[in-house]
Amino acid sequence: MKALTWHGKGDMRCESVPDPKIEHPRDAIIKVTACAICGSDLHIYDGVIPGMEKGDVLGHETMGEVVEVGSENKKLKVGDRVVVPFTIACGECFFCKKGHFSGCERTNPDHAKAEKLWGHSPAGLFGYSHLLGGYAGGQAEYLRVPFADIGPIKVPDSLTDDQVLFLSDIFPTGYMAADFCNIQPGDTIAIWGCGPVGQFAIRSAFLLGAGRVLAIDTVPERLALARAAGAQTLDFKAEDIYERIQELTRGRGADACIDAVGTEPETTASFDSIVDRVKVATFMGTDRPHVLRQAIHCCRNFGTVSIVGVYGGFLDKIPMGSAINRGLTFRMAQTPVQHYLPLLLERIEKGEIDPSFVITHRAPLADGPALYKTFRDKKDGCVKVVLKP
Ligand SMILES: NC(=O)c1ccc[n+]([C@@H]2O[C@H](COP(=O)([O-])OP(=O)(O)OC[C@H]3O[C@@H](n4cnc5c(N)ncnc54)[C@H](O)[C@@H]3O)[C@@H](O)[C@H]2O)c1
Ligand SMILES: [Zn+2]
Ligand SMILES: [Zn+2]
């Protein structure tokens, strides 16, 4: 089959790889009808995620048709149309039983490596390095889905691929980001990053009762898409974000701040961001948490900082003094997608949101390598790429 494979920083290829096979009786094989490129894939593309090997198949936003099921899989049948969560979960362990699917303790065969770095291992993820299971991803013609009786959700024929594909990741992620904020009616939620995840966070914040969303980015078409959802936009290259949020909240700060940017922010010449760049370039640091620092700074006393932008290792100069003295709550996670799926599918079916609004590019798989670059560089008005193998 054809798949998108990683060969090093900035080097994606569309090439032939062996077809996936059922390896465990609970597996299923999916013929992929649509898959997408995530902002998290860009961290791999840019070479900042450890544990990648040449030839690894990327992709964790995938849906398709079931073409084969293992003997113990009682949930799926050949022909079912499903969306596959990016987090692989067993459904039975201590964490899965609590709904913390992205903390599943059984699905990362490489858990020892993750434990060394992070103390404990999270769940395995599709197409996301040999720190997180080394599973082949879904930017491919076919995908093996482990624990396929737990993850994939069947979707009704009345909804198109474009409407349901993002249940695999970015819709639940944006929703979780807002959910973490414990939004009270009328709250002001500040959101850094108007990429696909930020866009879903904006709309979810409104669905959950926010009175006002302040959306921060600099890319004109992304800011326009945020405004279309009713957000007030701030351009971090044109204005001082802290000063603006102070002004807009009468000096109190935002009720909650969402970091939907993560470890690779664009930065103006602030001192902290220059130090970050030097540290990362000289292997003295792993991440560039400029946005997280700013989000903490801009959050009101006893507010919440919700982090969904991905970080990898050890973050320097996080203003913990500000956080503890002012009673901030931190929430963060790789999304336990399975936990949010039924509720969000229902919201789509009821017409409360149509996730296809975010798609700007549709293309065959072979165009994947070029579109990684277009998406990373935010060229050609690119907000979200969907590939149809
Ligand atoms: N927690 C999870 O489960 C999960 C799931 C999906 C994605 N993510 C992460 O969410 C983040 C966003 O993903 P995406 O798909 O939207 O990616 P993206 O790269 O398209 O979006 C990031 C946006 O942040 C903006 N930005 C950059 N620097 C900024 C700054 N200083 N201030 C404000 N905005 C800034 C960019 O212009 C861009 O529009 C990534 O880090 C990704 O890894 C996490
Ligand atoms: Zn993702
Ligand atoms: Zn589990």
- Res. 283: pLDDT tops 90: no
pLDDT digits (tens, 9 = 90+) for 35-64: 999 999 999 999 989 999 999 999 999 999
Q: What is the pLDDT of residue 250?
A: 97
Is residue 374 within 8 A of residue 385, CB to CB? The reply is yes
Distance 252 CA to ligand 2 centre (A): 33
Ligand nearest to the CA of 151: 3
Distance 53 CA to ligand 3 centre (A): 26
pTM recorded for the entire structure:
0.97
Distance 177 CA to ligand 2 centre (A): 13
Q: What are 20's strand-pairing partners? A: none
Cβ neighbours, 10 Å, residue 193: 28
Q: What is the mean pLDDT of residues 342-365?
A: 98
| Tokens representing residue 236 in the block | 């971090």
Lowest mean pLDDT segment, chosen from 48-62, 76-90, 220-234, 267-281: 267-281
Q: Which atom of ligand 1 is nearest to the CA of 376?
A: 19
Q: What is the pLDDT of residue 343?
A: 97
**Backbone φ, ψ for residue 181 (5° rounding):** -80, -5
pLDDT confidence band for 82 (50 / 70 / 90): very high
Alpha carbons 67 and 206: distance in angstroms, whole number: 39
By three-state DSSP, how is residue 188 classified? strand
- Res. 268: pLDDT tops 90: no
Q: Which atom of ligand 1 is nearest to the CA of 102?
A: 3
**Backbone φ, ψ for residue 241 (5° rounding):** -65, -45
Alpha carbons 305 and 296: distance in angstroms, whole number: 7
Identify the residue with better confidence: 285 or 56.
56
* Whole-number average pLDDT of the chain: 97
Pairing of strands 329-332, 299-307: parallel
Name the DSSP letter for residue 168: G
Is residue 353 within 8 A of residue 176, CB to CB? The reply is no
- Res. 335: pLDDT tops 90: yes
pLDDT digits (tens, 9 = 90+) for 107-151: 999 999 999 999 999 999 999 999 999 999 999 999 999 999 999
Ligand nearest to the CA of 174: 1
Alpha carbons 84 and 148: distance in angstroms, whole number: 9
pLDDT confidence band for 284 (50 / 70 / 90): confident
Segment (H or E) for 205 = helix 196-207
Alpha carbons 87 and 146: distance in angstroms, whole number: 10
Pairing of strands 385-387, 361-363: parallel
Q: What is the mean pLDDT of residues 78-98?
A: 98
- Res. 269: pLDDT tops 90: no
Among 102, 126, 197, the mutation site with the greatest number of ligand 1 atoms within 8 A of its Cβ is: 197
Q: Whose CA is nearest to atom 36 of ligand 1?
A: 193
- Res. 341: pLDDT tops 90: yes
Instruction: Report the pocket of ligand 1 as residue ranges, CB < 6 Å.
Output: 38-40, 42-43, 169-170, 173, 192-198, 216-219, 222, 236, 260-262, 265-267, 290-291, 308-310, 334-335
pLDDT digits (tens, 9 = 90+) for 149-178: 999 999 999 999 999 999 999 999 999 999
Question: What is the strand order of the sheet 56-57 is part of?
Answer: 12-16, 2-6, 56-57
| Tokens representing residue 57 in the block | 């198949």
Pairing of strands 124-125, 87-88: antiparallel
